Structure 1
Amino acid sequence: MITKAIQNAFNTAQRKNWDHTYWAFDIHGTIVYPNYSATKIPTTFYPYAKECLQLISGRKDVVMILYTCSYPHEIEQYLKFFKEQGIHFRFVNQNPEVVNEAYGFYEQKFYFNVLFEDKSGFDPEQDWEKIYTMLKNNKTEACILPEMPAFIN
């Protein structure tokens, strides 16, 4: 479950003394309901998605990456739309801050700690509320989150 991935990312960051972690977010079917239109981007958020992304945007220990197959002109529209909502992505489909090292080759797959993607099991109808509750209960910027068995399956 996504809350376990978040828990693991924060725990790893503290153990390795990292300042932040990287979270990648798909748009369609994850943040907003798809509208299947070729001319207008969808703007209807899943419950708790907007509030959750606003919380995450305010954290100094999370770098947000937009992870999308949208066309470049749509990405511009999305970035503007999200910015108007107080949601800020640092990168789009890349993470130039993590380069190739002995432990990983990142030229064809960028590095992230947590992936929000409906095709990988993220359930926007249920998971956003759990994440929102988890983050609201954790007021500090970078710390090990307490174990939350109610959220972990």
Structure 2
Amino acid sequence: MITKAIKNAFVHAERKGWDRTYWAFDIHDTIIKPNWSAEEIPTEFYPLAKETLQIITKRKDVVSILYTCSHPHELENYLRFFEENDIFFDYINENPEVRSESYGYYENKPYFNVLFEDKAGFDPLEDWKEVMTLMTSEDFNTITN
């Protein structure tokens, strides 16, 4: 369950003395409904994806990573689309804030605490609602802020 991963990320960050957590977001079948067009990017959000991402990507304790297999020529269009919708990502397919150490090699796989990815079990029709509920709960915001 994605909300458990989110809670665990903050527990881990506190235990490590970190002031931020790292979240990776896939686009297709996770944030946006695919259109399978090679001509134009899809722009239909899943319910609550837009509103939830607006909250998440503005948090100072979350580094947002766009984690996508989109073609390079599509990325500019996606970034513009997300910015027009008040959603901002810190990095694309990388996390330069966490470098390889003895505990892990992060040159080819970016480090993240939470993964929003349909192929990893994220269900956009159910999970965005659960994440929104968590992100807007007083208890959660008291703990993390």
1:22-41 equivalences in 2 (<5 Å): 22-41=22-41
1:1-153 equivalences in 2 (<5 Å): 1-137=1-137, 138-140=140-142, 142=144
Superposed CA offset, 1:43-68 (max 9, x none) = 10000100000000121000000000
Quote the Cα distance in structure 2 between the aligned partners of 1:94 and 1:114: 14
Change (3 A) 1:109 1:46: same
In structure 2, the gaps of 5 or more residues are none
- The one-letter amino acid paired with 1:121 is G
**Which structure would you say has the larger RCO, counting Cα contacts within 8 Å and 6 or more residues apart?**
1
Quote the Cα distance in structure 2 between the aligned partners of 1:33 and 1:107: 30
Please report how far the alpha carbon of residue 142 of structure 1 lies from its aligned counterpart in structure 2 after TM superposition.
2.8
- SS across alignment from 2:56: helix
| Identity rate, percent | 63
Please report how far the alpha carbon of residue 139 of structure 1 lies from its aligned counterpart in structure 2 after TM superposition.
2.9
Task: Count matched residues.
Answer: 143
Quote the Cα distance in structure 2 between the aligned partners of 1:141 and 1:57: 18
TM-score between the two structures when normalised by the length of structure 2:
0.95
TM-score between the two structures when normalised by the length of structure 1:
0.90
- The one-letter amino acid paired with 1:104 is G
Quote the Cα distance in structure 1 between the aligned partners of 2:25 and 2:142: 22
In structure 1, the gaps of 5 or more residues are 144-153
